[in-house]
Amino acid sequence: MKAVYLEETKRIAVKDVPKPVPGKGEVLVKVDACGICGSDVHYWQHGKIGDFVVREPMILGHEAAGTVAAVGEGADSVKVGDIVALEPGITCMKCDKCRNGLYNLCSEVRFFATPPVDGVMKEFVVHPAELVHPVPAGLSAQVASLAEPFSVGVHALRLAKFEAGQKALVLGAGIIGICVMLAAFEAGASEVAITDIQDLRLERAKALGADEIINSKNAGPKHQYYDAVFECTGVQECAASAIKAARSGGNVVMIGMGPDDMTRIPLLDAVCREVSVHGSFRYRNTYPVALDIIAKHKDLFSKLITHNFTADEAEKAFMTALQDPSACKVMVNL
Ligand SMILES: [Zn+2]
Ligand SMILES: [Zn+2]
């Protein structure tokens, strides 16, 4: 079967590897679609993210959905032919984080396409049954694969304790910012503003329902106004303006991955106005909810998929994700 490898920095290769066999409690899934994430592009271009360094060839991709091809002993939550979305992180389920339900913080996690763990941009994958989520009827594997980035949005909304009628600001109109925005709509936001420095991205956000779009090259968001602010860029200036934009007593959720130590963050402002700043890392217990929301608005979500490629065109797909400003989610169809 085919697998899309990062052979070394800046070099992608499609290779033939043996088809896996499901063991006890595992499911064999024929992967139909795998989205390209910013992290995949980053590993391809730079060979590492923080302490995670690609030292040997690694299969890319962690945003996948497909069709159940076989089930191992005891894996009876799904059956052959079901369309399923794959939650990427295999956790230890033994540490205090896992036992307390904070499994996204497990330090033993084996997450698709995070070195040295292989990703899921391949024709077949074996995965633990509890991480194989059945998709609501009528939802394609391709659109269902968006449950991965959308889960980031669902999780961030929970951390902000977001309530219906509240106002949200999203910094960054890439796929994660868009997913946060859509999660805020679903949570009943009365107003969602979104910022970026690229007009194309802002136009897309507007078309998807943003109430206000702000090009941060020209203007900043309102100060002390939003109940919840979601920082999805990792850019120093945005992290600072996130705190300033939150109303007193409001919540700021930091999602973007920036430099190791950011300086010039107005923490005193957060202290004096009781703005709560939350870190947000991946997601936990989001997949079934995320899939239901995606199914309910599948026409809207399908607009996020702007480009489609085959496995053999993987390199072109990555180029598109890297360079094409019109790209939102680039999909590799296996
Ligand atoms: Zn992702
Ligand atoms: Zn654990």
What is the CATH classification number for the domain harbouring 323?
A: 3.90.180.10
* C-beta atoms surrounding 73 within 10 Å: 10
The amino acid at 57 = P
pLDDT per residue over 161-220, tens digit each?
999 999 999 999 999 999 999 999 999 999 999 999 999 999 999 999 999 999 999 999
Do 192 and 130 reside in the same domain of the chain?
A: no
Evaluate whether residue 290 is within a structural domain: no
Compute, in angstroms, the gap from residue 88 CA to the centroid of ligand 2: 14
Tell me the ligand closest to 97's alpha carbon: 2
Compute, in angstroms, the gap from residue 62 CA to the centroid of ligand 2: 19
Evaluate whether residue 174 is within a structural domain: yes
What does the pLDDT read at residue 121? 98
Do 25 and 142 reside in the same domain of the chain?
A: yes
Question: Residue 27 half-sphere exposure, CB side, CA atoms within 13 Å?
Answer: 28
Do 48 and 24 reside in the same domain of the chain?
A: yes
Tell me the ligand closest to 110's alpha carbon: 2
Do 160 and 248 reside in the same domain of the chain?
A: yes
Do 155 and 268 reside in the same domain of the chain?
A: yes
Last residue in a domain, options 279, 295, 315: 279
Per-residue pLDDT tens digits of the chain, which is 334 residues long: 999 999 999 999 999 999 999 999 999 999 999 999 999 999 999 999 988 999 999 999 999 999 999 999 999 999 999 999 999 999 999 999 999 999 999 999 999 999 999 999 999 999 999 999 999 999 999 999 999 999 999 999 999 999 999 999 999 999 999 999 999 999 999 999 999 999 999 999 999 999 999 999 999 999 999 999 999 999 999 999 999 999 999 999 999 998 888 889 999 999 999 999 999 999 999 999 999 999 999 999 999 999 999 999 999 999 999 999 899 999 999 9
Tell me the ligand closest to 147's alpha carbon: 1
Tell me the ligand closest to 37's alpha carbon: 1
Do 118 and 203 reside in the same domain of the chain?
A: no
Compute, in angstroms, the gap from residue 128 CA to the centroid of ligand 2: 15
Evaluate whether residue 215 is within a structural domain: yes
Evaluate whether residue 164 is within a structural domain: yes
What is the CATH classification number for the domain harbouring 249?
A: 3.40.50.720
Compute, in angstroms, the gap from residue 97 CA to the centroid of ligand 2: 6
CB 25 within 8 A of CB 73: yes
Query: What residues have CB less than 8 Å from 273, skipping those under 6 apart?
Result: 224, 246, 248, 249
pTM of the predicted model as reported, rounded to 2 decimal places: 0.97
Compute, in angstroms, the gap from residue 283 CA to the centroid of ligand 2: 14
Evaluate whether residue 230 is within a structural domain: yes
Tell me the ligand closest to 120's alpha carbon: 1
Do 170 and 187 reside in the same domain of the chain?
A: yes
Evaluate whether residue 235 is within a structural domain: yes
Compute, in angstroms, the gap from residue 204 CA to the centroid of ligand 2: 38
Please list all protein residues whose beta carbon sits less than 5 angstroms from ligand 2, which is an ion. 91-92, 95, 98, 106
Evaluate whether residue 167 is within a structural domain: yes
What does the pLDDT read at residue 99? 97
Do 192 and 139 reside in the same domain of the chain?
A: no
Evaluate whether residue 64 is within a structural domain: yes
Do 192 and 268 reside in the same domain of the chain?
A: yes
Q: Beta strand pairing status for 305-310 and 329-333?
A: parallel
Do 35 and 104 reside in the same domain of the chain?
A: yes
Do 202 and 128 reside in the same domain of the chain?
A: no
Give the position of tokens 């169809």. Answer: 333
Compute, in angstroms, the gap from residue 181 CA to the centroid of ligand 1: 16
- For 113, the domain range is 2-146+304-333
Compute, in angstroms, the gap from residue 148 CA to the centroid of ligand 1: 6
Do 46 and 93 reside in the same domain of the chain?
A: yes
Count of domains in the chain? Answer: 2
CB 286 within 8 A of CB 157: no
Tell me the ligand closest to 100's alpha carbon: 2
Compute, in angstroms, the gap from residue 214 CA to the centroid of ligand 1: 25
Whole-angstrom distance, CA of residue 200 vs CA of residue 143: 22
What does the pLDDT read at residue 260? 85
Compute, in angstroms, the gap from residue 215 CA to the centroid of ligand 1: 25
Compute, in angstroms, the gap from residue 328 CA to the centroid of ligand 2: 33
What does the pLDDT read at residue 125? 98
What does the pLDDT read at residue 292? 98
What does the pLDDT read at residue 50? 85
Compute, in angstroms, the gap from residue 92 CA to the centroid of ligand 2: 4
